[in-house]
């Protein structure tokens, strides 16, 4: 069996690969722009953290509750430059990326924050059911994530959170990072340093905010989606947050998990092909297409 | 018991300044040349992996190229396992081979631009290659996608089970169970 790669083809492929990266726009893939506020119930929920209603971008950001983490408290930030949706942070990697397998035992990871890093992104993928706490508090007062057995081996098993390294009140000790799994709980933890610049949502003439969800802060009134235009093209547009959350006529907030399942079954029966909701420009008035739900 | 893991200033426990993590960060920041470095670093291992799964030399070369393109396309999902992208690349390669038709459609423009594969000089060698592949892959292609992945990584490519587990996003225990099950099924198919 000939196991040598043809040098000529290898050189050609290398050239193509280099060009693919060089040609790519200087922004994350388009999916990051899509914050649709769907498909969130039950994702990594439980314990002190719930998955954000941030949309279909994988992995999902966590929204820890009642824990010492920082989050934007107002719609602050620079004006989103071309190629970024309002509210979408401008993220640059600083240094490398490292993954650790955590298997039942507490791990303490020694950090050395490189120059220029503003945040530490921690991505956790559950590889077994259970709860894992992770953060800067040696005593365990940290955000945590939980997975059910059905989450393991699915996209729901992964989530991330960005720790603001400049917030000395929240993280006075930032040289050690603690991963504290429950008994027998395993996960894969990835650390990467970021330089993260917040961008602000646009506020339109009606006072509505427009953009994509900000982790830890919430959603704007008009949420970025990839909408289908009448000519069959997909464009970035904005759907009303409330309609994304409750797209079906008469739909209300479920009062219990059983109610949520009953509503879901009813909607699948009444709208087997799903439903289209209007998508607008940031003004909330000019409709440019529809966003399909279901 | 607590385990202390060191992370160097540039963010990688196994980081020597030129690790996959460093290079990958440069790729993600838009430096095409860095992707070329990754190609040079992992091309041969990925190609050998593809060669295990495919009878034709040229198909394995194409699959290697497509695996790197998939790495870029799915860059938000890529996993660096203990400082290396190789386990993830091998997972992607198996997927590319399993979904060869779809992958070829996706990258047909690039594949069309590549130089033609070297002509087969010896038809006897080609027939022998195909016969060997049939023997090697007997039963393998009848396994589930999950079983194929674990067999391809551990049995074909000698990847440590812990790395394979991390690349697949499953626990070590789950990987061990899956490997045992896959081997049993493979033996069943051989009988």
Tell me the per-residue pLDDT of B128-175, one tens digit each, with 9 for 90 and over: 666 666 666 767 777 888 888 888 888 877 888 888 888 887 888 888
The residue-averaged pLDDT of B113-124 equals 71
Name the residue facing B76 among A2, A58, A97 (closest C-beta).
Answer: A58
Q: Is A268 exposed, middle or buried (0-12, 13-18, 19+ CB in 10 A)?
A: exposed
Residue A114's closest chain B neighbor by CA?
A: B9
Structure token pair of residue B124: 């006897």
For A32, A34, A63, B30, B75, the CA distances from A28, given in Å and listed in that order, are: 7, 12, 22, 10, 10
pLDDT band at residue B40 using 50, 70 and 90 as cut-offs:
very high
* Residue whose pair of structure tokens reads 């949309």 in the numeric block: A55
Name the residue facing A101 among B7, B132, B166 (closest C-beta).
Answer: B166
| Cα-based angle B145, B148, B153 (whole degrees, multiple of 5) | 130
Query: What radius of gyration do chain A's Cα atoms show?
Result: 21
Q: Is B70 exposed, middle or buried (0-12, 13-18, 19+ CB in 10 A)?
A: buried
| Cα-based angle A72, A76, A78 (whole degrees, multiple of 5) | 125
Residue A100's closest chain B neighbor by CA?
A: B82
Q: Is the confidence at residue A251, as pLDDT, over 60?
A: yes
Question: Is A1 in contact with B132 (CB distance < 8 Å)?
Answer: yes
**CB-based contact, A190 to chain B, within 8 Å:** yes
For A132, B58, B86, B126, B182, the CA distances from B62, given in Å and listed in that order, are: 41, 6, 17, 17, 27
**Better-predicted residue by pLDDT, A73 or B171:** B171
Is A186 in contact with B79 (Cβ distance < 8 A)? no
Q: Is the confidence at residue A222, as pLDDT, over 60?
A: yes
**CB-based contact, B177 to chain A, within 8 Å:** no
Residue A59: asked if its preceding bond is cis (omega within 30°), the reply is yes
The residue-averaged pLDDT of A226-255 equals 83
**Residue A32 DSSP class:** G
**A45-54, A184-193, B19-28, B150-159 — which is least confidently predicted?**
A45-54
Structure token pair of residue B86: 């190789």
Chain A positions in Cβ-Cβ contact with residue B173 (cut-off 8 Å) = 128, 186
Residue A160 confidence (pLDDT): 78
The residue-averaged pLDDT of A250-262 equals 76
Average pLDDT, chain A: 75
Computed from CA positions of residues A40, B149, A107, B9, in that sequence, does the dihedral angle turn out positive or negative? negative
Task: Compute CA A223 distance to the chain's CA centroid, rounded to the nearest angstrom.
Answer: 14
Tally of CB atoms within 10 A around A79: 9
Three-state SS at A273: coil
**A17-21, B116-120, B184-188 — which is least confidently predicted?**
B116-120
Beta-sheet strands, E only, within A170-286: 176-181, 186-197, 202-203, 209-211, 222-228, 234-240, 275-280
Q: Is the confidence at residue B67, as pLDDT, over 80?
A: yes
**Better-predicted residue by pLDDT, A260 or A64:** A260
Chain B positions in Cβ-Cβ contact with residue A184 (cut-off 8 Å) = none
d(CA B167, CA B170): 8
Question: Is B52 in contact with B157 (CB distance < 8 Å)?
Answer: yes
**Better-predicted residue by pLDDT, A44 or A88:** A88
ipTM of the complex: 0.78
Question: Is A33 in contact with A85 (CB distance < 8 Å)?
Answer: yes
pTM for the model: 0.43
pLDDT band at residue A52 using 50, 70 and 90 as cut-offs:
very low
Question: Is B24 in contact with B80 (CB distance < 8 Å)?
Answer: yes
Is A1 in contact with B129 (Cβ distance < 8 A)? yes
Three-state SS at B9: coil
Is A8 in contact with B115 (Cβ distance < 8 A)? yes
**Chain A window 110-149: which residues touch B at a Cβ cutoff of 8 Å?**
110-114, 125, 127-128
Average pLDDT, chain B: 78
Q: Half-sphere exposure of residue B174, counting CA atoms within 13 Å on the CB side?
A: 22
**A21-30, A36-45, B48-57 — which is least confidently predicted?**
A36-45
Label residue B17 left, alpha or beta by phi (over 0 means left) and psi (-120 to 50 means alpha): left
Q: Is the confidence at residue A178, as pLDDT, over 70?
A: yes
pLDDT band at residue A286 using 50, 70 and 90 as cut-offs:
very high
What angle, 0 to 180 degrees and rounded to 10, lies between the N-to-C axes of helices B86-98 and B161-168? 60
**pLDDT tens for residues A97-146?**
888 899 888 889 988 888 889 889 888 888 998 888 888 888 777 777 77
Structure token pair of residue A261: 């399942």
**B3-12, B98-107, B135-144, B146-155 — which is least confidently predicted?**
B3-12
> What is the nearest CA distance from A207 to chain B, expressed in angstroms?
34
Is A28 in contact with B82 (Cβ distance < 8 A)? no
Is A5 in contact with B64 (Cβ distance < 8 A)? yes
| Cα-based angle A204, A208, A214 (whole degrees, multiple of 5) | 105
**CB-based contact, A98 to chain B, within 8 Å:** yes
Q: Half-sphere exposure of residue A68, counting CA atoms within 13 Å on the CB side?
A: 17
Query: What radius of gyration do chain B's Cα atoms show?
Result: 18
Residue A288 confidence (pLDDT): 92
Q: Residues with Cβ < 8 Å from B94, sequence gap 6 or more?
A: B49, B53, B148, B149, B152, B153
């Amino acid at each position: 069996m000939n196991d040598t790669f043809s040098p000529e083809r290898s050189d050609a492929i290398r050239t193509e690969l280099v060009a693919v990266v060089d040609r790519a726009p200087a922004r994350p893939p388009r999916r990051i722009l899509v914050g649709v506020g769907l498909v969130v119930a039950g994702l990594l929920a439980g314990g002190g953290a719930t998955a954000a209603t941030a949309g279909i971008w994988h992995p999902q950001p966590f929204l820890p509750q009642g824990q010492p983490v920082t989050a934007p408290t107002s719609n602050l930030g620079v004006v989103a430059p071309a190629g970024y949706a309002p509210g979408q942070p401008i993220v640059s990697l600083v240094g490398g990326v490292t993954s650790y397998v955590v298997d039942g035992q507490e791990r303490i990871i020694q950090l050395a924050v490189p120059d220029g890093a503003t945040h530490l992104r921690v991505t956790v993928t559950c590889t077994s059911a259970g709860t894992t706490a992770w953060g800067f508090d040696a005593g365990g007062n940290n955000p945590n994530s939980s997975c059910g057995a059905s989450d393991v081996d699915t996209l729901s098993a992964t989530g991330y959170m960005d720790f603001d390294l400049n917030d000395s009140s929240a993280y006075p000790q930032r040289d050690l990072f603690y991963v504290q799994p429950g008994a027998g709980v395993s996960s894969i933890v990835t650390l990467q340093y970021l330089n993260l610049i917040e961008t602000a949502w646009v506020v339109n003439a009606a006072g509505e905010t427009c953009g994509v969800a900000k982790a830890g802060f919430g959603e704007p009134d008009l949420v970025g989606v990839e909408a289908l235009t009448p000519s069959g093209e997909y464009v970035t547009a904005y759907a009303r947050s409330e309609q994304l959350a409750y797209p079906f006529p008469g739909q209300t907030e479920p009062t219990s998990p059983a109610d949520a399942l009953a509503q879901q079954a009813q909607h699948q029966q009444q709208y087997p092909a799903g439903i289209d909701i209007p998508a607008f420009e940031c003004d909330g008035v000019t409709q440019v297409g529809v966003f399909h739900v279901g | 018991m607590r385990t202390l893991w060191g992370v160097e200033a540039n963010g990688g426990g196994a980081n020597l300044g030129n690790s996959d993590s460093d290079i990958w960060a440069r790729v993600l920041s838009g430096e095409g040349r860095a992707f070329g470095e990754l190609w040079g670093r992992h091309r041969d291992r990925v190609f050998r992996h593809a060669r295990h799964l495919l009878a034709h030399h040229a198909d394995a070369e194409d699959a290697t190229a497509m695996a790197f393109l998939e790495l870029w396309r799915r860059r938000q999902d890529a996993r660096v396992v203990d400082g290396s992208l190789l386990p993830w690349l091998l997972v992607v390669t198996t997927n590319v081979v399993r979904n060869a038709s779809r992958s070829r459609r996706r990258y047909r423009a690039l594949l069309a631009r590549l130089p033609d594969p070297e002509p087969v000089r010896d038809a006897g060698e080609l027939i022998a290659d195909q016969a060997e592949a049939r023997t090697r892959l007997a039963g393998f292609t009848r396994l589930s996608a999950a079983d194929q992945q674990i067999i391809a990584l551990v049995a074909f490519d000698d990847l440590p089970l812990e790395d394979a587990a991390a690349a697949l996003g499953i626990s070590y225990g789950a990987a061990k169970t899956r490997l045992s099950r896959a081997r049993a099924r493979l033996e069943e198919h051989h009988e």
